[in-house]
Chain A
Amino acid sequence: MLEKYEDLNEMHLDVLKEIGNIGSGNASTALSAMIGREIAIHMPSIKILGFQEAIENNGSPEDIVAAVLVRLKGEVSGMILLLVEQEFAENVLNVFFGEKDIDLLKLNENDVSALTEIGNIMGSAYVSAIAQLTGLEIGVETPSFAVDMLGAIMSVPVIEFGEVSDKLLCIDKTIEIDGVSMKSNMMLIPTVDSLSNLFGKLGVDA
C-alpha cells in the first residue's frame, strides 16, 4: 500500500505518465473540437515536487494566471488544475469572441464562462479517458475559476495535500495551438489513496 508519493518506483511513474498521456490527449482532442484549431501536446512530465518547487515549476509566484479547478470524486480523488496563461487565453477568446488584447485581470463574464467551460470540458475528457482505461468510477465536480498570482492559486492544491504530504505529484503537460507553443499547464494531482486504486485496476503492484 502506497503511503507517500516518494514511495513510487520507476514503473509506477511510467504508468502515471501513460495515464497523463492518454488523459491529456483526450483533453486536447476535446479542446481542438471546441475551438476548431489544431492542438498538439508535449509528452507529459511527471514530477514529485516540494511545495515551493510546485509553484516554481509553473513560473514566478507573482505571475498572473487564470485557473480552472476541477475536483475529482469517486474512486479517484484529487484535482485537475488548468493554468491558463495570457497567450493561451488570448488565443481561445479570440476564437470564441474575436477578442484581442486580453487583460487577464479584466475578463468579462463571457470570457470567464468560456475559459471555465474549457477547463470543464478538458477536465472531463481527461477523467473519462482514465475511467475508460481503468474501469474506475471517477466523477468531476462543478469547476471553479480564479485569476490571481500563480503562488496564490497553487496554494490551493498545496494546502489541500499539505495535511497528508510534504510533496505534490503533478502530471502536467504543455499545449500547442496551431504550431505555436503556449504555456497552458494542465495538472492532474491525485491523492495518495487514489494511486493505489489506479495501480490496482491496472494490475500494477502498489
Chain B
Amino acid sequence: MNISVGISDWKICKPPDSLVTYALGSCVGICLYDKVRKIGGLSHIMLPDSKNCGDGLATNRMKFADTAIPDMFKKMLSTGAVKADMTAKIAGGAVMFSVATDRFNIGERNIAAVKAALGAIGIRIIAQDVGLNYGRTVFFYPENGVVKIKSTTKGEVSI
C-alpha cells in the first residue's frame, strides 16, 4: 500500500508499504530510514519552529520541524528502529513565488530548521533535493530506502 502523508503529518511504515507526500512547496519532507530493519518514516513539516507560534497553535506538533522530527524519531525507535542504523533524506523547501515577494523566505528557514532538528537527534543526512523554485512530490520506499522525487519541470529523480 502507498500510504499518503498530508500537510503537517507524519507516518511510519515497513515494506511492502511505501509512503508518499504530494506537492511539497516551501514545506519540507523528511524521510528517516533504518536500513537494517527496513523501517521508514516520512514527515511533511510546514514551519520551522513551534516556539514562534501563537498560544494553543503549537498543539499540532506535526506542523513544525522542531517537534515533528523528534516525535517521529521516537516513534520509530519504539517500533524497533535503531539509531545507529538510521539516516535521513530530505526534499522540498522551495521558494514558490519570486524571492522579492517571499518576504519570509520560509523554504530556506524550513530547510535550516530540519537540518538543526536532525542534528539534535544525531541523524545524518545522506541525500537531499532542496531549495530552488519548484514543487516536489516525494515517494519513499522502505524496501530499499529509495526516495523518488517528482516535479513538473525536472521530471523524476531518485536520491
Task: Name the B residues within 8 Å of A159 (CB-CB).
Answer: 25-27, 46-47, 104, 106
A147 to B63, CA, bound (A): 25
Indicate the member of B6, B60, B100 with the most A CB atoms within 10 Å.
Answer: B6
A151 to B26, CA, bound (A): 10
Closest chain A CB from B148 CB (angstroms) = 14
Contacts A105-B153, A152-B96: A164 and B27 contacting too (C-beta < 8 A)?
A: no
A153 to B47, CA, bound (A): 16
Residues of A in contact (CB 8 Å), total 33
Residues of B in contact (CB 8 Å), total 34
Task: Name the B residues within 8 Å of A60 (CB-CB).
Answer: 22
A162 to B24, CA, bound (A): 15
A141 to B102, CA, bound (A): 11
A145 within 8 Å of B (CB atoms): yes
B134 touches A158 (CB 8 A): no
Task: Name the B residues within 8 Å of A162 (CB-CB).
Answer: 8, 46-47, 63
Given contacts A147-B152, A149-B137, 5 further A-B contacts (CB under 8 A): A52-B6, A145-B97, A151-B22, A163-B54, A164-B57
B residues at A contact (CB < 8 Å): 6-8, 22-27, 46-47, 52-54, 57, 60, 63, 94, 96-98, 100-102, 104, 106, 133-137, 151-153
